[in-house]
Amino acid sequence: MTATFVGMPPFPEAARAALADTQLRSNLAHATATIRAKRAAVVAEVDDWEELRLAGAAIKDNTLLHLDEHLVALEAALTARGATVHWATDAAEACAVVARVARDHGVDEVVKVKSMVTQEIGLNEALAAEGVLAWETDLAELIVQLGDDLPSHILVPAIHRNRAEIREIFERRMKDVGRPAPDDLVDDPARLAEAARLHLREKFLRARMAVSGANFAVAETGTLVVVESEGNGRMCLTLPDVLVSVVGIEKVVPTWQDLDVFLQLLPRSSTGERMNPYTSTWTGVTPGDGPQEVHVVLLDNGRTRALADEVGRQALRCIRCSACLNVCPVYERTGGHAYGSVYPGPIGAILNPLLRGVGTDEQVDSLPYASSLCGACFEACPVRIDIPSVLVDLRAQVVDAHRAGAPKPEALAMRAAAWSLGSGARLGRLERLSGVVGRVAGRLGRRTLPGGRRALGRLPGLGGWSGARDLPAPPVESFRAWWRRTDGGRTEERA
């Protein structure tokens, strides 16, 4: 399994399908507008927000640059506090560790805290293959799981669903896997949340093993941190006997005190709250409180590939807040599924290529182009990941990966453009040609733009552009030609 959904088409194709879904677009526009407003309000409360962002970025950079040392320290601290540390180079190894723990305890089900990394490695499918059922307990994850759906947002995986769709899913599916939805269920968020509470409670109370991720792992103390809202995380982290936490190696922060930065940046950026309802921290095993057997799986799965990328390395600062998704004009219109990965949106557009490498999969190669480079993501990112710069760098990597074979039409067009645009003289010659087009359009054109200029309408060969956009006819005289003819307007002024 990989971070990318199997068999997804490249972004432009997937986006076209998503854009045609008016229900999806209205669900997304409503949801992202709501969260954007909430985030803006709580960020504005913090006078030194920019300095906090700089601190968050710097702490993560310093950690990543000495990641080997911090991982060794983390392992030692965890082991000293009674946890068992496992290492996994890829998804298969990580899944095998979790499955082995389940088998050792003879469990046929586990409860899960919402975790991006376990989705990335396809843990649920891997456990199912071993006869172990994994119950998602986060409300949105439950909606996705019951709906046989795919997540479309990092924080709110079911953001593409509205309340009526959710009610229908609960009514239809809860009865197959446990306590049925109440008979009188209506599509009120509070009632839907209550249905989830009732449905999951029996699973929490009987669970013997839980699986979680971690938002942060503190190297010096071995402390893991889970940030959540509903209390499903606390249920999983507290009630079962056995806990396995799968932790990407980039989740490390060096010291306990470093958390003060991230516990301010994350909730405000993520749910748009001053603080999320629940944050749990635990350090190995605590006698008499919570799971008495604690495992931690430290996972690479492409992270060291991203770490080796000088420009892209900064993507590993990501704390999975999803602020970049919520402000992204592309994400707002296409939704998350179009990105074909558990990591959608701007961060997904860089993270997937960085984790998996470019040049082998058309879908992955399409992701760095799924952006207008507007920069809203960088502005919102609490750890200052310069996503536009990484996107541009990855585009170069995609192009470079294909330089060996026969050039694509785009490559030929770019070479031609570069040749024409590499000298004033050559550009001038091209403009004389376009001036002829302008003269013809001036005589034959029927449409005029407000302001008096001739317009070109639908044009064969310009389908991508002219399907919905008119184009002004080229001017008869370029600026360069005007400058030469009038000495920069001086002779015109005299005339």
Partner 1 sequence: MRVALSVTCVNDAMFPDTGKAVVTLLRRLGVDVAFPAGQACCGQPMVNTGYLDEAVPVVRNYLETFAGYDAVVTPSGSCAGSARHQHDIVARRSGDPALVEAAAGAPPTYELSEFLVDVLGVVDVGASFPHSVTYHPTCHSLRMLGVDDRPRRLLEAVRGLRLVDLPSAEECCGFGGTFALKNADTSIAMGADKARHVRETAAEVLVAGDNSCLLHIGGMLSRQRAGVRVMHLAEVLAAQEGAA
Partner 2 sequence: MSARDDVLGSVRRALAAADRSPVPVPDGHRSRPGPADVVGLFAERVADYRAVVERCSADEAAGRVAAVVEGLRVVVPPGLPWPVPGAVVDDGLTAAELDGLDAVVTGATLGIAETGTIVLTHGPGQGRRALTLVPDLHVCVVRAGDVVGDVSSAVRLLDPVLPQTWISGPSATSDIELSRVEGVHGPRTLHVIVVG
The footprint of partner 2 on residues 43-102 (CB under 8 A) is 48, 51-52, 54-55, 57-59, 61-62, 65-68, 71-72, 75, 81, 86-89, 93
Q: Does residue 230 touch partner 2 according to CB under 8 A?
A: yes
What is the rounded distance in angstroms from the CA atom of residue 354 to the CA atom of residue 341?
Answer: 13
Q: What single letter denotes the amino acid at residue 323? A: A
15 or 325, CB closer to partner 2? 325
DSSP 257: G
Q: Residue 133 binds which entry of partner 1, partner 2, none, with Cβ cut-offs from 5 to 8 Å by kind?
A: none
**318 touches partner 2 (CB under 8 A):** no
Burial-class residue 247 by CB neighbours within 10 Å (0-12, 13-18, 19+): buried
Looking at the Cβ atoms of 92 and 414, the one nearer to partner 1 is: 414
Q: Residues 6 or more apart from 244 whose CB is under 8 A from it?
A: 97, 98, 101, 209, 210, 211, 212, 295, 296, 297
Q: Is 202 exposed, middle or buried (0-12, 13-18, 19+ CB in 10 A)?
A: exposed
- How many angstroms separate the CA atoms of 392 and 409, rounded? 20
253 within 8 A of 262, measured Cβ to Cβ: yes
**Residue 201, contacted partner among partner 2, partner 1, none, CB below 5-8 A by kind:** partner 2
**Residues 476 and 435 sit within 8 Å (Cβ to Cβ):** yes
* Nearest to partner 2 of 332, 431 (CB atom): 332
d(CA 430, CA 424): 10
Residues in 234-263 that interact with partner 2 by CB under 8 A: 234-235, 237-239, 249, 256-257, 259-261, 263
- Closer residue to partner 2 (CB): 193 or 449: 193
Q: C-beta of 466: minimal distance to partner 1 in Å?
A: 8
Q: How far is the CB of 58 from partner 2 (least distance, A)?
A: 4
Task: Pick between residue 35 and residue 123 the one whose CB is nearest to partner 1.
Answer: 35
Residue closest to 63 by CA, chosen among 259, 204, 281: 259
Region near partner 2 per CB under 8 A, out of 233-241, 381-389, 392-400, 471-479: 233-241
Per CB under 8 A, contacts with partner 2 among 178-207 are 189-190, 192-194, 196-197, 200-201, 204-205
Q: Do 367 and 353 form a contact (C-beta atoms < 8 A)?
A: yes
Residue 84 interacts with which of partner 1, partner 2, none, CB < 5 to 8 Å by class: none
Residues 141-180 that bind partner 2 (CB under 8 A): 143, 156, 158-159, 162-163, 166
